[in-house]
Structure 1
Amino acid sequence: MRLRRLSLAVVLALAGLGPGAALGEVCARDDAGRELCLPAPAARIAALSPGATELTYAAGAGERVVAVVDYSDYPPEARQVPSVGSHTRLDLERLLALRPELVVGWITGNPPEQLATLEDMGLPVFYIEPRSFEGVASAIERLARLAGTEAAGDREAARFREGMAALAERYAGVEPVPVFYQVWDEPLMTVNDEHLIGKVLTLCGGTNVFGELDRLVPRLDEEAVLAADPEAILAGGMGEENRDWLTHWERYPELTAVARDNLFFVPPSLIQRPTPRMLEGSRLFCEKLEQARERRGG
């Protein structure tokens, strides 16, 4: 992959620095496989997804975030940062006015043509899309490198790795629980085993009843769920405390998950964003599946 270097003149102009500013090149490879080099750690960062915002703060660079997108609600201080639209439609004029020195883009979530426009204008775009637990930890470390906050980023990455490893050890060899995870309601959607959420299910000793489907986020109908007859159903919802998606399944008392009261709610932000909070969400997943095992009776 070609090495992309933002010209010194562009960086200095964007940052409002003079030619005597202290410099020190920093480089990192993004999740698109491209190496990005900056002549100095980024002091002004635009995070173009809620997950990118969380990862940047986790990397110790929260004070450098000058732009976010809608629903960037964690940590709480991120809510005070100017929004430049949604992750699917960016207000480029507003974004440029905030003079970012680094743009953190979402490979499959941001409009590729808008990210390409930013690059054509000389802005450095670092593409992220963690697809594994290690990918989450690595993203934190790489963002910390680009922001010059390695000490904080390395600590958080180590905490996440150690926590996930502890869960894997604790739930190794447990009795499997057939699970349906609902990621959306209309249309009805789930995840396969290659999805990061699917990997959480496996870590906790769950068997994803739709894990072998080809698409990362397959669409389903109710009949498919009824035929699969999962022992547990886990879902988020439209909001952090909205359990309506689970209430829907109560109309099918013949489902094993309903009969055993194994309808479990997990706040979506804890599991649907590839960030360190996935550790907390994974602990909840594992606890819910342990409850399902306990309800099997003799």
Structure 2
Amino acid sequence: MLTFPRRLSVRQLVLRELAAIGAVFSLWQGPILANEICVIDDIGAEVCMEQPASRIAALSPGATELVWAAGAGEKVIAVVSYSDYPEQAKDVPSVGSHTRMDLERLIELEPDLVIGWVTGNPPEQLEALSDLGLPVFSIEPRTFEAVSNTIERLATLAGTEEKGFAEADRFRQGIAALERQYQDAEPVSVFYQVWDEPLMTVNDEHLIGKVINLCGGVNVFGNLDRLVPRISAEAVIGANPEAILAGGMGEENRHWLTRWEAFPGIDATARDNLYFIPPSLVQRPTPRMLEGSQLFCERLDDARAKR
């Protein structure tokens, strides 16, 4: 629940009244409408709407891309920082960052559907929006199929099934083609650097880990327990990967790779297998992962050719 200071502004009084109304409606067990639209989100909650969403708030850059992929970009009325794709998303009002949203500003924009990020948005803020009666659809695709399925569910909620299902199938078929192409590829040991300070990577359960496997790579840290584990430079040196790939802090910034040039004993360095991958192509669970996966596979092909 939202907690307000003793002296309430007009805006805060409105929020309190909305919360009270939302609580009343949550207790009412009315009949399910015949034309109600219902889907299950990634935390297992059923999200139902009486009619297709027309005012969507996307609370992560990935969610923004996915809504556009579902054919509902014109319905997005609120985003968060770094929502920079597609280009039109830059013109949509921002309500803060994915970790700290301005709830009052968001509510002023009157969304009728909120797309939340399971492990990225603060749970208390998503709960506050739910308490106000707003449908919150929480997502976190962790497989290629989940990316397609998320697009389809978003298209169902927005009433844009024709465009959304076509895009989901395009992604599905593209990934399947890569799987066929690299199913017998010679293994390449890989270290993927997802962050610099602290040094972080991904395990095999992470979607990026699945990109590595898709391309015939073997993630040298794939068996670690955490999805995004912290590691040391010494651990990377000890693992001796044949290829190192990194995203960096920007679409054209490869400076994270320069630290590894100081370690000529690593096979990846000795063979010049230090590769930059634009981070938004593999670090957001969106259809652009197909482009990122193709690029990733090409880099590992280059490493194979240097043997």
TM-score, reference length from structure 1? 0.91
Partner of 1:142: 153
Q: CA deviation at 1:248?
A: 1.2
Partner of 2:131: 120
Partner of 2:268: 257
1:24 and 1:41 in contact (8 A); partners too: no
1:29 and 1:35 in contact (8 A); partners too: yes
Aligned pair count reads 276
Q: CA deviation at 1:24?
A: 4.0
CA distance in 1, matches of 2:38, 2:291: 30
1:45 and 1:66 in contact (8 A); partners too: yes
Summarize the alignment of residues 11-50 of structure 1 with structure 2, pairs less than 5 Å apart.
Answer: 24-50=35-61
Where 2:292 maps in the other structure, the secondary structure is: helix
1:189 and 1:219 in contact (8 A); partners too: yes
- Deviations along 1:133-162, one digit per CA (max 9) or x if unpaired, are 000000000000000000000000000000
**One of 190, 194, 199 as aligned partner of 1:179:** 190
1:56 and 1:143 in contact (8 A); partners too: yes
CA distance in 2, matches of 1:168, 1:33: 29
Where 1:130 maps in the other structure, the secondary structure is: coil
CA distance in 1, matches of 2:168, 2:161: 10
CA distance in 2, matches of 1:290, 1:185: 25
Q: Which amino acid aligns with 1:275?
A: T
Structure 1 residue 272 corresponds to structure 2 residue 283: yes
**One of 140, 148, 152 as aligned partner of 1:129:** 140
Where 1:85 maps in the other structure, the secondary structure is: coil
- Deviations along 1:2-47, one digit per CA (max 9) or x if unpaired, are xxxxxxx98xxxxxxxxxxxx9421111011111110000000000
- Deviations along 1:68-111, one digit per CA (max 9) or x if unpaired, are 00000000000000000000000000000000000000000000
Partner of 1:55: 66
Partner of 1:83: 94
- Deviations along 1:188-216, one digit per CA (max 9) or x if unpaired, are 00000000000000010000000000000
Partner of 2:173: 162
The structure 1 segments of at least 4 consecutive aligned residues displaced by more than 3 Å after TM superposition are: none
CA distance in 1, matches of 2:63, 2:228: 20
Where 1:126 maps in the other structure, the secondary structure is: strand
Partner of 1:192: 203
Q: CA deviation at 1:254?
A: 1.2
Partner of 1:110: 121
TM-score, reference length from structure 2? 0.89
Partner of 1:206: 217
CA distance in 2, matches of 1:265, 1:72: 21
Among all aligned residue pairs of Structure 1 and Structure 2, give the percentage whose two residues are the same amino acid.
70
Partner of 1:283: 294
1:25 and 1:41 in contact (8 A); partners too: no
Structure 1 residue 98 corresponds to structure 2 residue 100: no
Q: Which amino acid aligns with 1:110?
A: N
Where 1:90 maps in the other structure, the secondary structure is: coil
Q: Which amino acid aligns with 2:207?
A: L
Q: Which amino acid aligns with 1:187?
A: P
Q: Which amino acid aligns with 1:170?
A: Q
CA distance in 2, matches of 1:262, 1:216: 24
Where 1:142 maps in the other structure, the secondary structure is: helix
Where 1:250 maps in the other structure, the secondary structure is: helix
1:232 and 1:257 in contact (8 A); partners too: yes
Q: CA deviation at 1:48?
A: 0.2
| Gap regions ≥5 residues in structure 1 | 1-8, 11-22
CA distance in 2, matches of 1:139, 1:253: 43
Where 2:154 maps in the other structure, the secondary structure is: helix
Partner of 1:18: none
Q: Which amino acid aligns with 1:279?
A: L
Q: CA deviation at 1:122?
A: 0.5
Q: Which amino acid aligns with 1:203?
A: L
Q: CA deviation at 1:173?
A: 1.0
CA distance in 2, matches of 1:44, 1:283: 34
